[in-house]
Amino acid sequence: MDGGDGTAPTQEALAEGATFTVADYTGTKAGFVFAGWNDGTADYAAGSTYTMGAADVTLTAKWISSLYELSYNNNPSEGGSIDVTVDGEPIESGSMVEIGKLVKVIATPAVGYEFVEWDIWYGTCSTVPLEYIAPDETKPNELEFTLNESYLAEVAGNVILNAKYGPAYHTVNFKLSTDVTQDYWDDIGTIKATVDGEEIQSGEQVEYGTEVTFTVTPNSNNAYTIGSWNDAKSTGDYTANATVTRDLNVYARFDTKVVYNLNGGSGQMNPDYEELYSVFNVKDIPADCTNGDLEFLGWKGMPLSGKIYLPGDRYQAGFGDTTELVAIWSSVDEPEVPGEPGEPGEPGEPEVTVKFIVTLMNDGEVFARYDYEKGSTFVAPDEFVYKRGYMFAGWSLNGELVDEDFVINEAVTLKAEFTALPTLTDDDSANIVDVIILLQYVSGVGPLADLTTAEMVMKGVDFNNNGEIDISDVIFYLKSI
């Protein structure tokens, strides 16, 4: 039994040429594993067939170590690190591991590298198939295995795990703006990216640590300003660099130059830069800015629109390279006109019309502001005034609706008034079913298809008051429910 404990199996005498089945052995030997029998010339596994020769034979127990050496390496050495545990306890490379113990291995790539594959050696030969240790396809950088006697019996008693790493690659995306699907960005120009002078395409994989140069070529008729870059650092008016350490999404933030035109007021205001189409807070005029005896009313956008914006109001920047706001001034009092009634004022002293601001409120918030000359009549804006479940009825002052004869002789605040939306069903409030019925009517079908236009107008669904029931009424209805 060659040092094994217990009782050796026995075999009765047999004639030359007779066969028998080699017995198993249940004995043990500290630090070793039973691996079969040897007759002095060859090994025989338990359960195999043995043929008797011309002389007596002695079968001696064959023992192999129950330990194997486990080593691991990173290739290249700076490419990463390996953590190995045996039954939950960490071990160093070169440690002896007992068969039957659970081994877990995790290879972690270093910054700038990515895991490629395992190169696993058994003994001194790397060509042994991965029948004992095989990576998990879902976690290729991790191994988990338990070796048994079969491994020790078939290959040399050591395992070498080589984790192979390669340079990490990251995706570089770049575009002109956060939204290049809109055609108006074509007016800006083009953007390209280069690596060592060679142009790359958006979406390409670039090696970790590589420096990428981004260049915007603006159209000659629109010299937009780049206010900042996303995932890149500006190196000039229209250039930026980025070092690849992760996936990049590079785009330029194009700005419009916001110019405050004091329109005769004293002093000056430095321009601001705001992102194209962004919404920003309007500034106030300087504290020491004056314009004779005139009063500052607010700002208007160029080209001069009807709306007027007070300091702090939100204003949407345009798409041009410049967004201009013009100060609006008004005479505080009715100007004195020298000379006889009907005669013009003195040369060089033009009249300045007295103006007042009309503020329109909707549900407690400013809807819009407009300036009106003193004595002019109110004109309701064409903009859609919305309140869910209601339809706009008009503008009111002190609870009474104003009409086209309402004269502006002072600054006033008008409030949006609403009435409940009409219904085309028996429901108490309008809903999507009503919209569908109205759409069906416009299409010549549905439960109300036989009603005349006049009858539908009487139902209150001629929302634009043009005497017709059409798709514009359907759209209004849908927006309002």
For residue 124, which phi and psi values (nearest 5 degrees)?
-115, 10
Per-residue pLDDT tens digits for 257-287: 899 999 999 999 999 988 888 899 999 999 9
The arithmetic mean of pLDDT across residues 232-254, rounded, is 93
And the tokens for 101? Answer: 């113990």
Ramachandran region of residue 36, left (φ > 0), alpha (ψ -120 to 50) or beta?
left
* Cα 410 from Cα 367, distance rounded (Å): 19
pLDDT band, very low/low/confident/very high, at 331 (cuts 50, 70, 90): confident
- Token look-up 């976690």 returns 139
Which tokens belong to 359?
A: 């503020």
pLDDT of residue 404: 86
For 103-156, write each residue's pLDDT tens digit. Answer: 999 999 999 999 999 988 876 555 554 567 878 888 999 999 988 777 766 666
Least confident range from 157-166, 209-218, 344-353, 364-373: namely 344-353
Mean pLDDT of 454-479: 93
Residue 386 identity (one-letter amino acid) = Y
Q: Which residues contact 284 (CB under 8 A, 6 or more apart)?
A: 311, 312
| Least reliable range by pLDDT among 31-45, 305-319, 334-348 | 334-348
As a whole number of angstroms, the distance between CA 256 and CA 452 comes to: 53
Question: Is pLDDT at 460 greater than 70 in this prediction?
Answer: yes
Q: Please give the residue that has the higher pLDDT: either 10 or 162.
A: 162
CA 218 to chain centre: 27
Average the pLDDT over 357-377 and give the result. 94
Q: Among the ranges 62-66, 293-297, 337-341, which has the highest mean pLDDT value? A: 293-297
CA gap 32, 66 in Å, rounded = 5
| Peptide bond before residue 303 is cis, with ω within 30 degrees of 0 | yes
Percent of the chain past pLDDT 90, that is, above it, reads: 60
In terms of DSSP bridges, do strands 322-331 and 239-243 run parallel, antiparallel, or are they unpaired?
Answer: unpaired
More confident residue, 450 or 132: 450
Check residue 209 and report its DSSP letter.
T
Average pLDDT of the chain to the nearest whole number:
87
Give the model's pLDDT for residue 352.
60
- Using only the alpha carbons of the chain, give its radius of gyration: 44
Q: In what order do the strands lie in the sheet with 211-218?
A: 198-200, 189-195, 211-218, 239-243, 233-234
How confident is residue 338, by pLDDT bands cut at 50, 70 and 90? very low
Taking only the tens place, the pLDDT of each residue in 97-112 is 988 899 999 999 999 9
pLDDT at 151 (0 to 100) = 74
pTM confidence score? 0.57
Contacts of 317-320 with CB under 8 Å at 24 or more apart are 317/256, 317/258, 317/274, 317/275, 317/276, 317/277, 317/278, 317/279, 317/280, 318/256, 318/276, 318/277, 319/184, 319/187, 319/256, 319/276, 319/277, 320/222, 320/256
CATH of 67-167, one of 3.30.1390, 3.40.50, 1.20.120, 3.10.20: 3.10.20
Helix (H, G, I), strand (E, B) or coil at 196: coil
Which segments of the chain belong to CATH 3.10.20?
Answer: 67-167
Do 107 and 76 contact (CB within 8 A), yes or no?
Answer: no
- Residue 180: predicted pLDDT: 45
